[in-house]
Structure 1
Amino acid sequence: MTTTHATPLSAEDLEVVHLIHSALRRDTERLADFAQKWRTADPGTHDALLLGWHGFSTELHTHHSVEDVYVWPFMRPRLAHDAGAMEVLDAMEAEHSVIDPALAEIEAVLDDRETATERLGGLLDGLVTSLGAHLAHEERDAFPLIEQSITKEEWHDISMRAFAQLDKREVSEMLPYLFEGAPKDRVAVVLKSLPVPVRVLNRFWWTPRYARERRWA
């Protein structure tokens, strides 16, 4: 329950979500020529493409799961009096229900290299279009509702509970993924909210390992 001492959310508090969206948009650009590259006979290129794809699909699925399990359900009682807000939250879940099966369908196609090139381009185009529209919709209509209905303290609690559900491997892959190519000042905002051991591991082990791995090409 919100108290009189509750602190409103700031743009800095939502920086991690903005970074997630930026990382997903970064990789949708890489998907533009994914199907064409997939036709290569080079096993190394296939492996790099799959590594890139699996990183993207895993983080997108995790992002949606966190929102569906922790964020939207928390907001609903607070906004139940607002029909427009309920429509936005319903739309967020409905859009997830379209995107997540699309990821699974592409995964199934990638398992069969003989048929992948026949269907892959169209499936990826559809995913990029629906995801781009969803991210823009969320930023335009859902982000203001998050700021309206969740306090800084509550957001921290939600974030920590969601973070605690990830195992070490998932965290070690997620942070370098989010930080790839991001401005240092934005990365610093997110890092300072994490425990010191996590920051050390990310700096000296996880990020260097991520940088050594060949992905997408």
Structure 2
Amino acid sequence: MTGTHASRTAPDLTLMYATHDAFRRDLGLLAAATRNGGAAPGSAFRTGWDTFQRFLTIHHTAEDDVLWPLMRSKLARDPDGLRLMDEMDAEHAVIDPMIESVEEVLADRRQDRLPGLVATVTERLVYHLDHEEKAALPVVATLLSKEEYDTFGAAQRRLLGLKGGAVYFPWVLDGAPEETSRKALGVLPPPVRLMYRAVWRPRYEKNRRPLTRASGG
């Protein structure tokens, strides 16, 4: 793939990879929890699923609206690169309706369908995440400047809303390597880091325990 780029500061994709890892982690927990029920409102599965699908929707929306169009502009004369962007779009188009199907099953309390649906979502989403990391993200890191890539992060923050970070940061850093946590928290002002340690993370861990227990963890 080809592209032209002047001297630039490369983007930091730490949170991108951490978010992908968090999706994989949640899929494993959710799949295990389906063996113990979870269709009822307020259940461990329902609560965990709501968090997972919220952040996946935000992530995919920001990619579709900001990151992939930006990449298409960089790859305008690169047929292979544009084909890769088509593949990213096509994979989203397969996954997003699957997420809606799980929502419909939960609304209808069709608990018997959850294991199969979650297994299918897991298969397709993990394939997409692996494909994106192997093929697309190296191109993102090569072609985009930090400033350009930061527009993607800004789009996600807008979708999260003012209170979204209080859930997102402990969620994305759950089980993350120390270096990832250090980088992610380093962008926050000191008072916000204090809130993370004193309030956000303990609250997240408390809310997460039912799903961990339901998954057998």
TM-score bucket (shorter structure):
0.7 to 0.9
Say whether the 8 Å CA contact 1:109–1:116 is kept in structure 2. Answer: yes
Which SS does the other structure have where 2:30 is aligned?
helix
Which range is displaced more, 161-170 or 175-184?
161-170
Mark the CA change 1:164 to 1:39 in structure 2 (over 3 Å): closer, same or farther.
Answer: closer
Mark the CA change 1:141 to 1:201 in structure 2 (over 3 Å): closer, same or farther.
Answer: same
Name the CA distance, whole Å, in 1 between partners of 2:177 and 2:34: 29
How far does residue 87 in structure 1 lie from its aligned partner after superposition?
A: 0.9
> How much identity, in percent, do the aligned residues show?
36
| Amino acid aligned to 2:111 | A
Any stretches of 5+ residues in structure 1 without a counterpart?
none
What RMSD, in angstroms, separates the aligned Cα atoms of the two structures? 2.2
Which range is displaced more, 133-142 or 91-100?
91-100
Which SS does the other structure have where 1:93 is aligned?
helix
How far does residue 37 in structure 1 lie from its aligned partner after superposition?
A: 0.9
2:23 corresponding residue in structure 1? 24
Cα displacement string for residues 92-115 of structure 1 (whole angstroms, at most 9, x for unaligned residues): 1111111111111101101222x2
Count the aligned residue pairs.
208
Name the CA distance, whole Å, in 1 between partners of 2:111 and 2:59: 26
1:190 corresponding residue in structure 2? 184
| Amino acid aligned to 1:84 | D
1:67 corresponding residue in structure 2? 63
Say whether the 8 Å CA contact 2:38–2:45 is kept in structure 1. Answer: no
1:34 corresponding residue in structure 2? 33
| Amino acid aligned to 2:84 | V
- 1:78 matched to 2:74? The reply is yes
Any stretches of 5+ residues in structure 2 without a counterpart?
none
Name the CA distance, whole Å, in 1 between partners of 2:191 and 2:85: 35
- 1:87 matched to 2:83? The reply is yes
How far does residue 153 in structure 1 lie from its aligned partner after superposition?
A: 2.8
| Amino acid aligned to 2:10 | P
Name the CA distance, whole Å, in 2 between partners of 1:198 and 1:39: 34
Say whether the 8 Å CA contact 1:68–1:93 is kept in structure 2. Answer: yes
TM-score by length of 2: 0.87
Say whether the 8 Å CA contact 2:95–2:121 is kept in structure 1. Answer: yes
Name the CA distance, whole Å, in 1 between partners of 2:47 and 2:118: 16
Mark the CA change 1:4 to 1:84 in structure 2 (over 3 Å): closer, same or farther.
Answer: closer
Say whether the 8 Å CA contact 1:95–1:134 is kept in structure 2. Answer: yes
Name the CA distance, whole Å, in 2 between partners of 1:91 and 1:39: 33
